Amino acid sequence: MDNTMTLFPSLLLVAALSLILLLLLHRTAARRKLRLPPGSLGLPFLGETLHLISAYKTENPEPFIDERVARYGSVFTTHVFGEPTVFSADPDTNRFILQNEGRLFESSYPGSICNLLGKHSLLLMRGNLHKRMHSLTMSFANSSIIKDHLLVHIDRLVRVNLESWTGRVLLMEEAKKITFELTVKQLMSFDPCEWTENLMKEYMLVIDGFFAIPLPLFSNTYRRAIQARGKVAEALDLVVKERRKSEGGERKNDMLAALLEGDGGGGGFSDEEIVDFLVALLVAGYETTSTIMTLAVKFLTETPLALAQLKEEHDEIRARKGDSEALEWEDYKSMPFTQCVVNETLRVANIISGIFRRTMTDVNIKGYTIPKGWKVFASFRAVHLDQEHFKDARSFNPWRWQDSSATANSTSMFAPFGGGPRRCPGSELARVELSVFLHHVVTRFSWIPAEEDRLVFFPTTRTQKRFPIIVQPRVQAV
């Protein structure tokens, strides 16, 4: 457990450094007579950041953004983690930020995250290497790969996991296990075994580190995460070496095979590059997809009409196929209402509520100038939950996606997977995984919440109690 007494000096240090940075940035901007977006900065670490954190720790962080948008407009300056940050709640500005990746903006993660991801992670790469690696990743998670290779494993691994469901189930934990197993299969072709279970234990410690105070001296969680990152890297390094030894044998159809064959800009990728790349992919798809699985079930539980319609759609598919036949691509393509549920869950939950970038030069937006080196935050959440862009935006209404005229307008506002050169390469995979998961859950079980659980949005979007439910096999299961 982190100790408040030991945290306090580090928070003070961060606050003092941020204050100096803030004064420098402001003085420079003022000297150059730049027109900055309006906003309230407060104290660097303790002011706006604490407001923001306490808003996102509740079920309803919207008033925080609403109030600032009403006062300053949809592009305003605020403070996030000790740095002045331009916050965009405006869809055009968000698109501009995403599309100008590498020209006007670059991705920006704190050093603590870089330590956990490894320096060769896709999320941290820039320029040409990023372009090549992004398309390599896409080539391993696109529709035809999912259709021809991954779907069968997704179906099988979801079924196997659901077989052990009985009585009280912690849905978030189950979803995490399924997602981890799917990702390991996709990356390295391993089926669940003792090795994958041990890897998952270490890997969970790494994930905890992303949400800890990133100072090894003060935070046990962060220190443990760094150690666990070392162990995960060691385990993956052995796999890479084994695979190199067996090159020339049967080619596996997985991401690791694609990386071993990739040129990495001449001469192939080093083992370290491949390991960092695999770690980043494990991280990127895990928390996101498992949370969306959990929240889809939560929203459906709270919206019985939607659940009933979803069951009908999936019962029809099961009736065509009998009890045990695996889902095929055509089945996935015949789930129109499921896709509405997927979209609506992504819109309301906003697992990635937005993305941070840093300006590479002075950037003009909406008549303001954002100085070089400033942080910007393109908020998807603010757009998705804005009543101007989505009617009755704050309620879960999957039917909105059935109305094609509304959909056309909404699609340009809808960016749960980001956009531009860094658009999520796993978007289709996440959709398929969620659809298959929903299919098997609704055709096999009925459930009720085991206890009340609340949705919170800090440090990540999740429910406080990991959404415990009581499941029962469906009596009329087909």
The stretch near ligand HEM (CB under 6 A) out of 12-20, 237-245, 280-288, 456-464 is 280-288
In terms of CB distance, is 134 or 252 closer to ligand HEM? Answer: 134
For residue 141, state whether it binds ligand HEM (rule: CB under 6 A).
yes
Nearest distance from C-beta of residue 139 to ligand HEM, angstroms? 11
| Rounded distance between C-alpha atoms, residue 478 and residue 124, angstroms | 47
> Which one, of 409, 418, 405, 397, lies nearest residue 337 by Cα?
397
From the number of C-beta atoms within 10 Å of its C-beta (0-12, 13-18, 19+), residue 70 rates as exposed
| 134 neighbors 421 (Cβ within 8 angstroms) | yes
- Is 193 within any annotated ligand binding site? no
Total binding residues for ligand HEM by CB under 6 A? 24
H-helix or E-strand spanning residue 471? strand 468-473
In single-letter form, the type of residue at position 398 comes to P
Q: Which residue has the tokens 């372009």?
A: 131
Nearest distance from C-beta of residue 121 to ligand HEM, angstroms? 8
Nearest distance from C-beta of residue 404 to ligand HEM, angstroms? 24
Nearest distance from C-beta of residue 5 to ligand HEM, angstroms? 35
For residue 430, state whether it binds ligand HEM (rule: CB under 6 A).
yes
- Of 14, 310, 351, 438, the one binding ligand HEM by CB under 6 A: 351
For residue 429, state whether it binds ligand HEM (rule: CB under 6 A).
yes
For residue 207, state whether it binds ligand HEM (rule: CB under 6 A).
no
For residue 82, state whether it binds ligand HEM (rule: CB under 6 A).
no
Residue of minimal Cβ distance to ligand HEM: 426
R_g (Cα) of the chain, nearest Å: 23
| 127 neighbors 424 (Cβ within 8 angstroms) | no
> Which one, of 23, 41, 32, 17, lies nearest residue 362 by Cα?
32
- Of 418, 441, 443, 445, the one binding ligand HEM by CB under 6 A: 418
| 161 neighbors 279 (Cβ within 8 angstroms) | no
Nearest distance from C-beta of residue 256 to ligand HEM, angstroms? 13
* Tokens coding 306: 């939607």
How many other C-beta atoms lie within 10 A of the C-beta of residue 477? 12
404-418 burial: b if 16+ Cβ within 10 Å, else e: eeeeeebeebbbbbb
The stretch near ligand HEM (CB under 6 A) out of 24-32, 70-78, 239-247, 279-287 is 279-287
For residue 88, state whether it binds ligand HEM (rule: CB under 6 A).
no
The stretch near ligand HEM (CB under 6 A) out of 81-89, 277-285, 309-317, 318-326 is 277-285
Q: What is the DSSP track for 135-164?
A: HHHHHTTSHHHIIIIIHHHHHHHHHHHHHT
The stretch near ligand HEM (CB under 6 A) out of 111-119, 330-338, 393-401, 426-434 is 426-434
Nearest distance from C-beta of residue 425 to ligand HEM, angstroms? 5
The stretch near ligand HEM (CB under 6 A) out of 41-49, 71-79, 169-177, 421-429 is 421-429
For residue 107, state whether it binds ligand HEM (rule: CB under 6 A).
yes
* Three-state DSSP state, 461: coil
In terms of CB distance, is 36 or 344 closer to ligand HEM? Answer: 344
For residue 422, state whether it binds ligand HEM (rule: CB under 6 A).
yes
For residue 355, state whether it binds ligand HEM (rule: CB under 6 A).
yes
How many other C-beta atoms lie within 10 A of the C-beta of residue 2? 14
C-alpha angle 141/328/337, rounded to 5°? 85
Q: Where are the beta strands (DSSP E) in 347-467?
A: 354-359, 363-365, 368-370, 375-379, 445-449, 455-456, 462-463
In the range 285-304, which residues lie near ligand HEM by CB under 6 A? Answer: 285, 288-289, 292
Give the contacts of 329 (CB within 8 A, at least 6 positions apart). 146, 147, 151
Residues in contact with ligand HEM by CB under 6 A are 107, 122-123, 134, 137, 141, 281, 284-285, 288-289, 292, 351-352, 355, 416-418, 422, 424-426, 429-430
Binding residues for heme, by number, are 424
Binding residues, by number, are 424
